[in-house]
Amino acid sequence: MASTAEGNAVVREVVIAASPETIWQFLIDPARVVRWMGVTASLDPRAGGRYRVEVVPGDIAVGEFVEVDRPHRLVHTWGWKRQSGSVPPGSTTVAFDLIPCDEGMLVRVTHSDLPVPTAAERHRRGWEHYLPRLAVVAAGADPGVDPWIERPEL
C-alpha cells in the first residue's frame, strides 16, 4: 500500500483481490459501505446525489456525488457536518479510481482541496485506516469491528 500527501491533498493506494464490480458496490451501497467505514450511510450515487456517512458516532461527512463512471471512477465532495473545523461540508473532493493490475484492482483514493496541512494529515490517517478495511471486506473477509467506532481518538 502506498500513501502520499502532496500539498494539501492525500493520495492513497491499495491493491484489492476483487473484481471492479465488487469493489464498486462497497463504494456506493450504504449497507456495504458501513462494513468498512462508518456507522450509518445515506448515498444517492448519481451526479448531484447526496453523500452522507456517519464515520464515527457524531462525526458526519457530507457532500454530493460529482462523477459516477461505473465501475471505474467515483468522485464526491466531502466535509464535516459539525459547526467547527477546517473542512466544511462539501468543501473537499474524494476520487476513487479503480485500475486493473496483475493482483486484481488498484484502488487509488485522491482526497484533494484540503484547506490546511493539519487537515491533510488527519485525512491521511483516516484513509490509511479505512482503505485496508475496504480491501479485506471487498476480498470476501470480515474486517472486524472498527476500533475507531469504539474509540474515535485512535
For 55-93, the pLDDT digits (tens) are 999 999 999 999 999 999 999 999 999 866 789 999 999
- For 100: left if phi > 0, alpha if psi spans -120 to 50, otherwise beta; the answer is beta
Looking at residue 4, its pLDDT comes to 46
* Residue 152's pLDDT band (cuts 50, 70, 90): low
Query: How far is residue 125's CA from residue 152's CA, in Å, rounded to a whole number?
Result: 12
Domains of the chain plus CATH, in order, are 2-146 (3.30.530.20)
Going by DSSP bridges, is the β-strand pair 59-69/73-78 parallel, antiparallel, or unpaired?
antiparallel
pTM to 2 decimals?
A: 0.92
